[in-house]
Amino acid sequence: MPGRPLFVYGTLRDMDLFTAVLGRRPDRRNVAAAVAPGWRVVFLPGRSYPALISAAGGRAEGEIVLGLSRAENALLDAFEGDEYRRAVVPVLVEGEMHEADGYLPTAPVGQEAEPWALAWWQTEHKAAALAGGAPAAAEIRRRLRAVRG
């Protein structure tokens, strides 16, 4: 049974990367624009990808993805690795507040962290991420299938 929707605010907003991770493109009917009030998207220190941090007056743009299976959620958790933990994030979708899962950094990220932008990442890092991420995601999918039997 699927759980809460997933709030994506960073590289997973790029549907090519999301597709590479899941091994399928999500149905656009299951993806909706969302905003996490009280949060900001910033650079994870030393990385080209972002972190979601709590910030009074902040507004993190993103999307929610509905209908992910347990296996897909496990795959996304494995892809995000030890740098992130899944947590509940309140988000606005079409003016209504909802609870969604989101990936928060496991290490502290200071309020002074620089804002991160998807368009910048797509221009500067997407090609390399897809080249390295797609094979890594395929290997994660293979290992998860082997564990599930």
Supply the pLDDT for residue 149: 53
Report yes or no: 36 and 50 within 8 Å, Cβ to Cβ.
Answer: no
Supply the pLDDT for residue 132: 76
The Cα–Cα gap between 96 and 71 comes to 28
- pLDDT tens over the chain, length 149 residues: 357 999 999 999 999 999 988 888 989 999 999 999 999 999 999 999 999 999 999 999 999 999 999 989 988 998 899 999 999 999 999 999 999 999 999 999 999 999 999 999 999 999 988 887 666 767 776 766 665 55
Which tokens go with 21?
A: 């991770």
Which tokens go with 4?
A: 């809460």
Q: Which of 142, 136, 149, 127 is nearest to 11 (CA)?
A: 127
Supply the pLDDT for residue 54: 97
Q: Which of 83, 20, 13 is nearest to 47 (CA)?
A: 83
Other beta carbons less than 10 A from residue 59's beta carbon: 13
Q: Is 4 left (phi over 0), alpha (psi -120 to 50) or beta?
A: beta
Q: What domains can you pick out in the chain, each with its CATH number?
A: 6-148 (3.10.490.10)
